[in-house]
């Protein structure tokens, strides 16, 4: 006898309409999420823990709608939470055996905002250890697998967030991004990931990796769903309202040379991104090639920040409980011992110039488009002998603080590729508008998984 | 300032010991590879500020 089918969970707008018409309850919607997880997660390994209060939140959402209280577009909508973000009543494992096992006393600020908007956190999902590096096979949980090909990595560190959304277990997920940890897994898994402007979304209750760079944001199946979630995480952004505006009349700077000249760039990725620029042009945007600041220098500044701050933050745990740490995270954090506080100060002193360089590229453009990653998701086998550098173009915008997102841009060898869109500080609405136009023009968003 | 000798395993081992950390033999090669990348990054920042 075969198990009953568990289809992907419905899009947020479809579920929201069904909740309000009485065709669906929040409790029933939550059960559909749980059924999808039960059917697929044995292979995907995205979900680490169920949130025990989810059923009560769903019941409360149903009772409120029945009583005429509507909290908005996310009322009754389930979502998953990266396990570096506190959910009251559950320990935040940060993917590490060395984490404090005490359950979180309160929700992280972003979780609280989503619950206040009626959303229902249903599960904690996978992360690379402390958000640093992976996939590490020696941890308490094996790493999440890419839903498009389980032999491939998801990228990280928001590995479970991207995998769960790509696998149709949820439409929405909370992720965090210090050097690309939202955008890279979103690109590798074929979903949308948004790193807001630094400081736009509160990080209280989220494990710090590098406070100079850390940013919390949404991962979602489509641009519209990411916008709905971002508008809750960062009230006042108002990104959902402008998604219909299109790109006609906009000027988009294509940072092509910034990634195409890198020998690590897969030619199939370059072709897809050239096609993406063409699609935006056909949709009415003016495309101009732009020069961006020296990538290697931006990466150097970001790497120094992450490793000095990472070692400073984790030294107590590593010195007291080092035997509980995984090997990849240990190697990465300990390597930071070659750096000094002077190196960090030097990196921080470069930020205004680097940021001004990106601002200059944006001075005649409404947004920039470039690569998220330079290859599709690598195979797990590539990591058999330890951490491997995976080429991408995400860290610079953590350094400068500009908002950036990744949106699906097609497939190379059956694996998703992402287009990165970067905007002026505070202009999340602008980059989501471009992403929505791109999604409409190409149909690359929310492509169903093969059976 | 990260000195040039930071690319050396003995130097890294001593720097870790000063912080109460131990470089496990099985992690030495991988840690040193990251450390060399970081030392080069620090050098690049110094040159950019010069």
Which residues of B have a CB under 8 Å from any CB of A?
Answer: 1-2, 6-7, 11-12, 15-16, 19-24, 26-27, 30-32, 34-35, 37-42, 44-46, 48-49
Question: Which residue of chain A has the CA closest to B32?
Answer: A335
- Region A170-180: mean pLDDT is 98
pLDDT at A3 > cutoff 80: no
Cβ contact, residue pair A337, B16, below 8 Å: yes
Rounded to an integer, the average pLDDT of A100-116 is 98
Read off the pLDDT of each residue in A157-169 and give the average, rounded to a whole number: 98
What pLDDT, on the 0 to 100 scale, is given for residue A364? 95
Model confidence at A257, pLDDT cuts 50, 70, 90, reads very high
pLDDT value for A341: 95
Instruction: Supply the pLDDT for residue A2.
Output: 54
**Would you state the pLDDT for residue A385?**
83
| pLDDT the model gives residue A4 | 57
Chain A residues touching residue B26 (CB < 8 angstroms): 327
Where are the extended beta strands (E) located within A96-191? 120-125, 145-146, 149-153, 172-177
Section A315-329 average pLDDT:
96
DSSP string over A299-354: HHHHHHHHHHHHHHHHHHHHHHHGGGS-HHHHHHHHHGGG--HHHHHHHHHHHHHH
Residues on chain A touching B2 (C-beta within 8 angstroms): 338-340, 343
From the list A297, A327, A340, the residue facing B27 with the nearest CB is A327
pLDDT at A436 over 60: yes
- Average predicted confidence (pLDDT) for chain A: 96
Q: Summarize the confidence of residues A56-67 as an average pLDDT.
A: 98
Between A319, A342, A386, which is nearest B30 by CB? A386
- pLDDT 10s digits, B3-23: 666 678 899 999 999 999 999
Average pLDDT over residues A196-208: 97
Reply yes or no on whether the pLDDT at A363 is more than 60: yes
Tokens of A214: 């850390």
Contact yes or no for A206/A175 (Cβ under 8 A): no
Catalytically annotated residues of A: 82, 157, 181
pLDDT at A147 over 80: yes
* pLDDT score of B8: 87
A201-227 burial, b if ≥16 CB within 10 A, otherwise e?
Answer: bebebbbbbbebbbbbbbbbbbbbbbb
Confidence of residue B49 (pLDDT cuts 50, 70, 90): confident
């Amino acid at each position: 006898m075969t198990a009953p089918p568990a289809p992907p969970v419905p899009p947020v707008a479809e579920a929201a309409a069904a909740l309000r018409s009485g065709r669906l309850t929040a409790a029933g919607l939550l059960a559909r999420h749980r059924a999808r997880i039960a059917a697929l997660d044995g292979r995907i390994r995205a979900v680490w823990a169920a949130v025990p209060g989810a059923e009560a939140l769903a019941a409360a959402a149903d009772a409120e709608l029945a009583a005429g209280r509507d909290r908005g577009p996310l009322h009754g909508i389930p979502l998953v939470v990266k396990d570096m973000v506190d959910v009251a009543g559950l320990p935040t494992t940060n993917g590490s055996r060395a984490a404090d096992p005490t359950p979180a006393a309160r929700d992280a600020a972003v979780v609280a905002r989503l619950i206040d908007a009626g959303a229902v956190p249903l599960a904690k999902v996978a992360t690379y250890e402390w958000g640093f590096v992976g996939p590490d096979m020696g941890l308490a949980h094996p790493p999440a697998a890419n839903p498009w090909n389980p032999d491939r990595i998801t990228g990280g560190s928001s590995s479970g967030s991207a995998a769960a959304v790509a696998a149709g277990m949820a439409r929405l997920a909370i992720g965090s991004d210090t050097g690309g940890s939202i955008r890279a897994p979103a690109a590798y898994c074929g979903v949308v990931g948004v790193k807001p402007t630094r400081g736009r979304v509160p990080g209280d209750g989220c494990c710090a990796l590098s406070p100079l760079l850390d940013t919390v944001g949404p991962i979602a199946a489509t641009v519209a769903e990411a916008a709905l979630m971002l508008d809750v995480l960062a009230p006042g952004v108002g990104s959902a309202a402008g998604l219909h505006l299109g790109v006609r009349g906009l000027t988009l700077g294509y940072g092509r040379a910034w990634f195409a000249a890198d020998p690590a760039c897969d030619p199939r990725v370059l072709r897809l991104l050239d096609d993406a620029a063409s699609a935006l042009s056909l949709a009415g945007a003016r495309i101009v090639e732009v020069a961006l600041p020296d990538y290697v220098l931006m990466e150097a500044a970001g790497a120094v920040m992450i490793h000095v701050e990472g070692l400073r933050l984790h030294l107590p745990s590593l010195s007291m409980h080092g035997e509980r740490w995984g090997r990849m995270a240990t190697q990465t954090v300990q390597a930071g011992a070659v750096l000094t506080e002077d190196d960090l100060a030097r990196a921080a002193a470069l930020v205004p110039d680097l940021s001004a360089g990106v601002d200059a590229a944006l001075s005649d453009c409404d947004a920039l488009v470039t690569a998220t990653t330079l290859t599709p998701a690598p195979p797990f086998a590539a990591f058999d002998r330890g951490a491997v550098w995976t080429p991408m173009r995400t860290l610079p915008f953590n350094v400068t603080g500009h908002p950036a997102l990744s949106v699906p841009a097609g497939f190379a060898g059956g694996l998703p590729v992402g287009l990165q869109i970067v905007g002026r500080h505070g202009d999340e609405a602008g980059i989501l508008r471009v992403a929505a136009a791109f999604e409409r023009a190409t149909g690359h968003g929310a492509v169903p998984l093969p059976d | 300032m990260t000195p040039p000798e930071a690319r050396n395993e003995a130097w890294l081992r001593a720097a870790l010991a000063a912080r109460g950390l131990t470089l496990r033999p099985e992690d030495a090669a991988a840690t040193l590879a990251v450390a060399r990348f970081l030392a080069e990054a620090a050098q690049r920042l110094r040159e950019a500020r010069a």
